[in-house]
Structure 1
Amino acid sequence: MSERSQSFPPSSGILSDPSGPVPAPDSLRGHLVALENGQVLIGEDLRGQKDVDDYVFRISEYLERSGKPGALKIVYIPDRLLSDLLRTIHPPTDATETFYGNEFADGFDLFSEEENPETSGEPEPKRKNEEPDDRLPAPGSVPGKPSPESGGSPSISGQKNLIGEPLECLSSPREGTPSLFRAPAEIAPTVLLFSDGRFYVSREHRDNQHVNYYYRHFVPELWSKVYTDRPVPRPQFVSYEALRKIRREHFPEELPGDVYQAEGDEARKVMEIIRDAIRKRASDIHIRIEKDRTRVLYRIHGWLKPVQTLTHEEGERLARIVYNTMLDSSGRDTMFSDKKPQDGQFRQDYLPRGVFNIREFHAPTLGAGLGTVTMVLRLQYGSGGEAAQVTDIDTLGYDARHLAQIRFLMGLSHGIILFAGPMGSGKSTSMAAVLAIVLSMNPVEEGRGLHLVTLEDPPEYVIPSASQIAVPGGKFSDVLGRIMRFDANILMIGEIRDEATAEKAIEGAMSGHVVYSTVHSNDVLSIPRRLDGLKVRRDLLADPTIFRGMICQRLVPVLCRECRMTFRESEQSALVSEDLNNRIAGAGISPEEIFFRRKDGCQTCESQGIVGRTVVAEILLPDQEILDLVSGGRMTEAWRYFSEVLGGRTMMDHAIDKIQAGDVDPRDVESRLGWLHKGYLDRKTLQGIVGGFS
């Protein structure tokens, strides 16, 4: 065997493994590595020891029996490098021992100052009198394709590299292929080292200490020992997008939608969790990294449900993989931190079928830097990378009076219509359903169409014939000033969350547009007060020709009719407390009308006891009197006027109707709206509820 083939990395295994053909004795385990190609890498401190000489003699005998006489080659390397090498070959099962690079190796710098790749984000300049390195493609070229300068031929998967060996990715080898240069799972997606010496590093991740150690120390030191006849690879810094493109160019079998398969078990685990959550129609995934464990929970029909428990270390690795490799890199920190809140959105090639967007947010819990973090993934459903289709408004849960009021609002030619409620209350779903009907009432095909322009972060639903504009970061006020020249009849703003957006929305309503938007508010009469907090002028807040309609709502779980429990069954199961019984009676609900959720459910509801969620709402078509009362802070009088003069019904009134229809569990209503009561919550009603606890 030639010297060149002797120096090539192993292709079929490690001789010194306990299960290998020549296992190393216990005294040497962890201090040397014997490779199938005849190389024996030994820690420098063992030079000259008798047990090392004995073991090398056994390796020599094995190579002779295997038809490889003369292949033996002994290389002494620093213990630190050998330790890191062993950890890449056999990642420890205890995640706390996972190799992240020697964080204290900065004292050793392989590169001189003039060629240190950390000094610039651009490819390094050639030194004087230096011959071009034929191993590296020209700047801007795509590996695997001929360079204009070199006129070389493509080198793709399945072809030979420059020394006649099959081209392999050493940093992320295929499953079952050993590699001395395997990058740890946490950084594997950010580096790409090929067996022909080409070496790419993500520019966005270059300052990470683990990536930094890999390209500055681990690869150069080990390469000089393993490939004694080849120059040390010099990293080229490219964008993360380009890095992923290079991988796909070389390994076309890794389809874009499945590229995460090359990026470690943690990425596959994350995708399994997301797909399972999609199958169960979860709206959110919580990954709670606690001191001694990690809990994964799904929010299904508004309730959090634990689905699996992992170790603390597993959860930490999952969170890092999500943030460091799966999120769009624009507008966010480059690396995960457990010391501050961070957020982002998933990259398109990591979105499974069934969702068009996933938002990520995480923050430290129990104090920064303690390793306890909660990460929330918000699933936004759609298909094929597109937003979901709008839902028929008649199926959302509004009652007949609500629908009549909404249809009145659909015919307005100017003014603001606001949907309110906390996150997850169905505001965007209801607003999209209303707007879809408005456009269908004015078809473009008949020559009387309307132009609807939406500003969203990002668009959640496909509204036919609308111009839907994504506004990254939700900075709607930056776009609203120019949108007025977009020839729009109707404007939809994803959310009014700041003073500038509120001001622009009112300007639009006063200039002949209908403006739809959402706000976060507790109830329908708190909507003007919420806008007052955003510095909207009070004379404008009290103008019913500007504020035309206000809708506040919640979503309440719908009981499975196949397994729901009657009041009597629930009493026998001790589900009905005495104070709940008192509130049910105080609300005028007959026990025969009430049903409760069965904890374990049935086959029909997939063991959940609930089959969906329904809207409970209150709608205000304001007049001058009620706006004056609200702007003057006379809320009790305003609620009385809403109920007695305007004939308004509160969300609680609507929920009680659904309890009496057997559609919802009274306990679920209380979890969303507070204690059961009839009408608005005045002093007398409040005293009655408190008295029920005594």
Structure 2
Amino acid sequence: MEEYFSISSQYGLSDINPSPFLVENMLIATNGENRTLYVVKDHKLHPEVMDYRKLFFKQWPQTIWEPIAKSKLIELQQRNDVFTSKEEHSDLQADIVHTFEVAAKRRASDIHIRVGNKYTKIFFRIDQKLVFYTDLVDDKGVRFVQALYQTMCEGRTAPTFTFSEPVDAKVKESHVESLGLNGGRLATRPTDEKGLIVIRLLRKNNKSLTLRELGVTDEQERILQRVISKPSGVVFMSGPTNSGKSTLAKCMAEIVTSRDPGIHLLTVEDPIESTIAGAVQTPLICIDRGTPGALSKAWGDAIANLMRLDPDQIYIGEVRDFTSATGAISAAQTGQKVYTTIHTHNPIDIIPRLKSFNVDMDLITDSSLLTCLIGQRLAPLLCEHCKQAYVKHSHKVDPVYRELIETHCIPSGVYIANEEGCEHCNHTGYKGMTGIYEIIETNANFMQIFQTKGKLAAYEYWYQQGGQTLAANAISLINQGKIDPVYSHSNVSSLDRDIQMFTDEIRNSVTSKLKVA
């Protein structure tokens, strides 16, 4: 009976580290002492293949050479799970689960796996910082990743793992549910050596957080409560990956369902990350994610389907193109309240982003349809046990940052991270996270200025009406000694951002209003 193995396994050439191309397109079969070397027939004359064949036949001269179709090779790989021997599977899966367990206990949001030619390094993202976890030597990193993808994932965009092109998948919940996880969202990309694999951990976050616990200020909470109370319109949450958009959406949705248990709030998410109390949550269904346009069609179909299910309010996981954008706005036009996320750097950029999707400008400058634009970031909180007063440790800060801190902050209230940390923060200098927000509640004046005078004029109008910018909120937290000023300047908002954005006249007019108030 034939057994099948990757050429990177112990059945391949021990003194050769095969390239991802060879691993993907060749396969070894053994039957007792007999060997067959399968190759995708389209690549049988490839120089790398010919070199490997020559060395393989030199060691095992009786080998049978068998060119086959790519589809047949993939079928053999997938059916026989060739990337690790069956004896190795349980051990590797145990190692993988242990890695997830440590990551979950350390409150990591992501696991990063950097696979090199001779080593693999694993990092955890904890409180927004990458923290080294462990090394894997020789080819264990390759086998670790292959076993994870081949045996512990579903929704794979490629039937077998490859380092030669990006692949996506979802770690099955059954493997990690005992760790308090719903699974993990896996994405990869080729590197100059082998590849980078990043797994976003999806937590069973059933705890309901208040807006204040998320870091929303008193004034921002008043705005959000007012926005939530409106019967219709789209609320857009924007920010980079891992900025807390889904967490804020969950919080706002649960405010809705807790106020009125009779509300029928429907979601479509990709994937469902955590439970929203009182909502009916549905996953995005996309059978062939590798097909161009398939994901866009899936979002459009999902939104259309939700509208046939008698919703009162809906949450759309992401607006990513014309189809999903028009779907969200069409829902608002029919009187639905819609919560959704979009990728923009600043909330004021949401309208231009929608315009780039070719959505009608009259629709996206209608304040009854686009009711609120939210921008957000996450920042690590300084460890209360080891943070250091800036006035005593300013010599540790680069001069360029010192100038910014002393110009835009109140140095006596500023603290910086202790690079050595302590036992309370696992020696990182940080413990916990907070959200930082910029919330634009639209109105007719704002939208009219946007349409007639442009984005910057509308932004200035909002600021003059008392809008709290991301930079201003970050500086407030810095002055309270809660977040590190260097981290904030580099990752949240530059400390001098408002001076760069608004003229002296505009800023002085705002200051004058505050003094009068």
Q: TM-score, normalised to structure 1's length?
A: 0.59
User: Quick check: 1:506 aligned with 2:329?
Assistant: yes
Aligned-residue offset at 1:357: 1.8
- How far, CA to CA, are the matches of 2:493 and 2:459 in structure 1? 17
- How far, CA to CA, are the matches of 1:497 and 1:317 in structure 2? 34
User: Quick check: 1:455 aligned with 2:321?
Assistant: no
Aligned-residue offset at 1:586: 2.2
Aligned-residue offset at 1:467: 1.1
Partner of 1:311: 137
Partner of 1:281: 107
| Alignment match of 1:521 (pick from 341, 344, 348) | 344
- How far, CA to CA, are the matches of 2:349 and 2:27 in structure 1? 57
- How far, CA to CA, are the matches of 1:606 and 1:295 in structure 2? 19
User: Quick check: 1:321 aligned with 2:147?
Assistant: yes
Output the amino acid matched with 1:358: G
Over 3 Å counting, the alpha-carbon distance change for 1:569 and 1:477 in structure 2 is same
Partner of 1:657: 476
User: Unpaired runs of 5+ in structure 2?
Assistant: 34-69, 287-294, 505-517
| Alignment match of 1:343 (pick from 168, 181, 195) | 168
Aligned-residue offset at 1:466: 1.3
Residues 77 and 160, structure 2, Cα contact 8 Å, conserved in 1: no
| Alignment match of 1:429 (pick from 247, 251, 256) | 247
User: Quick check: 1:547 aligned with 2:370?
Assistant: yes
Residues 528 and 630, structure 1, Cα contact 8 Å, conserved in 2: no
Over 3 Å counting, the alpha-carbon distance change for 1:578 and 1:492 in structure 2 is same
Partner of 2:196: 374
Aligned-residue offset at 1:602: 1.5
- How far, CA to CA, are the matches of 2:30 and 2:387 in structure 1? 68
Over 3 Å counting, the alpha-carbon distance change for 1:345 and 1:633 in structure 2 is farther
Aligned-residue offset at 1:310: 2.3
Between Structure 1 and Structure 2, the one with more helix by share is: 2
Residues 270 and 318, structure 1, Cα contact 8 Å, conserved in 2: yes
| Secondary structure, counterpart of 2:471 in structure 1 | helix
Aligned-residue offset at 1:419: 0.9
Residues 95 and 314, structure 1, Cα contact 8 Å, conserved in 2: no
Residues 471 and 495, structure 2, Cα contact 8 Å, conserved in 1: yes
1:608-649: CA deviation from partner (whole Å, max 9, x where unpaired): 2111111111111112332234345733322321111x2101
| Alignment match of 2:231 (pick from 395, 413, 420) | 413
Output the amino acid matched with 1:395: E
- How far, CA to CA, are the matches of 2:172 and 2:264 in structure 1? 31
- How far, CA to CA, are the matches of 1:673 and 1:105 in structure 2? 51
Runs of 4+ in 1 over 6 A off after TM superposition: 91-95, 104-108
1:567-621: CA deviation from partner (whole Å, max 9, x where unpaired): 13322xx42222212112221x222110011112122222221111111111111
1:331-382: CA deviation from partner (whole Å, max 9, x where unpaired): 532111111111111123322421112111111112xxxx520011110111
- How far, CA to CA, are the matches of 1:480 and 1:636 in structure 2? 32
- How far, CA to CA, are the matches of 1:409 and 1:261 in structure 2? 57
Residues 128 and 380, structure 2, Cα contact 8 Å, conserved in 1: yes
Partner of 2:96: 270
- How far, CA to CA, are the matches of 1:103 and 1:403 in structure 2? 59
Partner of 1:137: none
1:28-84: CA deviation from partner (whole Å, max 9, x where unpaired): xxxxxxxxxxxxxxxxxxxxxxxxxxxxxxxxxxxxxxxxxxxxxxxxxxxxx9xx9
Partner of 2:158: 333
| Secondary structure, counterpart of 1:207 in structure 2 | helix
Report the structure number with the largest CA radius of gyration: 1
Output the amino acid matched with 1:467: V
Partner of 2:307: 484
- How far, CA to CA, are the matches of 1:351 and 1:379 in structure 2? 10
Report matched runs for 1:194-209 at 5 Å: 207-208=73-74
| Secondary structure, counterpart of 2:108 in structure 1 | coil
Aligned-residue offset at 1:684: 6.4
- How far, CA to CA, are the matches of 1:592 and 1:87 in structure 2? 62
| Alignment match of 1:583 (pick from 379, 384, 404) | 404
Of structures 1 and 2, the one with the larger relative CO (CA 8 A, separation 6+) is 2
1:91-129: CA deviation from partner (whole Å, max 9, x where unpaired): 9998959xx9x9687899x9xxxxxxxxxxxxxxxxxxx
Residues 586 and 678, structure 1, Cα contact 8 Å, conserved in 2: no
User: Unpaired runs of 5+ in structure 1?
Assistant: 1-80, 111-203, 213-236, 241-259, 444-448, 686-694
Between Structure 1 and Structure 2, the one with more strand by share is: 2
- How far, CA to CA, are the matches of 2:418 and 2:13 in structure 1? 45
Output the amino acid matched with 1:442: D
- How far, CA to CA, are the matches of 1:493 and 1:426 in structure 2? 15
Partner of 1:181: none
User: Quick check: 1:472 aligned with 2:292?
Assistant: no
| Secondary structure, counterpart of 2:243 in structure 1 | coil
- How far, CA to CA, are the matches of 2:102 and 2:15 in structure 1? 26
Partner of 1:611: 431
Residues 233 and 370, structure 2, Cα contact 8 Å, conserved in 1: yes
- How far, CA to CA, are the matches of 2:139 and 2:448 in structure 1? 57
Output the amino acid matched with 2:170: Q
| Secondary structure, counterpart of 2:424 in structure 1 | coil
Aligned-residue offset at 1:205: 10
- How far, CA to CA, are the matches of 2:26 and 2:369 in structure 1? 61
| Secondary structure, counterpart of 2:460 in structure 1 | helix
Aligned-residue offset at 1:470: 1.0
Partner of 1:77: none
Output the amino acid matched with 2:483: V
| Secondary structure, counterpart of 2:425 in structure 1 | coil
User: Quick check: 1:636 aligned with 2:459?
Assistant: no
User: Quick check: 1:565 aligned with 2:368?
Assistant: no
Over 3 Å counting, the alpha-carbon distance change for 1:320 and 1:107 in structure 2 is closer
Residues 386 and 429, structure 2, Cα contact 8 Å, conserved in 1: yes
| Secondary structure, counterpart of 2:432 in structure 1 | strand
Residues 205 and 335, structure 1, Cα contact 8 Å, conserved in 2: no
